[in-house]
Structure 1
Amino acid sequence: MSQPTFAIAVTFRIKPEHVDAFQTRVLEQARDSVDREPGCHQFDVLVAESDPATFALYETYTDAAAFADHKLTPHFLDFDATVSDWVESKDVRRLMLLGS
């Protein structure tokens, strides 16, 4: 398997009434991405220690094309549609991995 060269860092602020549902659904999304996508190497879900409504995702992919493929998968499209009304804010950063 090739090494990842591309990463995504996403910060979500979730509406308080949807925090538990978001947590369940984002963990499912993480498992689906790693299990079903050969180009997805890592998908970590984190929650802010001081704010249970703030989640961070750290995802690594073989390259930017693998991430583009990720956004077209049925599990991503379902996740995005399911959680869109639960989100107060979302910040996405595209990152390149340095070294290996």
Structure 2
Amino acid sequence: MYVVSVTFEIAAGKMDAFLPLMMDQAQNSLAKEAQCHVFDVCTAGNTVLLYELYTDEAAFKAHLEMPHYAQFNTAIDGMIADKQVAFFERVAPTEG
């Protein structure tokens, strides 16, 4: 499994506008992409952390080509102060 971790620092005063868009993006990814298995959205202050789990790297690359991804990126323009992306291979699932 292919893990993508994204950390957004949201610009001051933009969280209320950003978060509903992010939640829609997560729901669309899970509903429209059979190879997107997990799309968790976590927050702490002005930081938003995404934990995404895909079948493989090709599935993630397909995610980047989806119309809902393009719409999301357009909608959040000007809301992001910083963005960090990291990629991992999942070696063991957790129980619980």
TM-score, normalized by the shorter chain, greater than 0.5: yes
TM-score (norm 1): 0.89
Task: Give the deviation of 1:84 after TM superposition.
Answer: 2.7
Q: Which aligned runs of 4 or more in structure 1 are off by greater than 3 angstroms?
A: none
Does residue 12 in structure 1 map to residue 5 in structure 2?
A: no
TM-score (norm 2): 0.93
Alignment of 1:11-90 (within 5 A): 11-48=7-44, 51=45, 53-90=46-83
- The CA deviation string for residues 44-90 of structure 1, in whole angstroms up to 9 with x for no partner, is 00001xx2x11000000000000000000000011111113100000
More helix by percentage:
1
Give ranges in structure 2 of 5+ residues lacking alignment.
none
Q: How much is the aligned-residue C-alpha RMSD, in angstroms?
A: 0.8
Count of residue pairs brought into register by the alignment:
93
Greater mean deviation of Cα atoms: 56-65 or 14-23: 14-23
Same amino acid, percent of matched pairs: 35
Give ranges in structure 1 of 5+ residues lacking alignment.
none
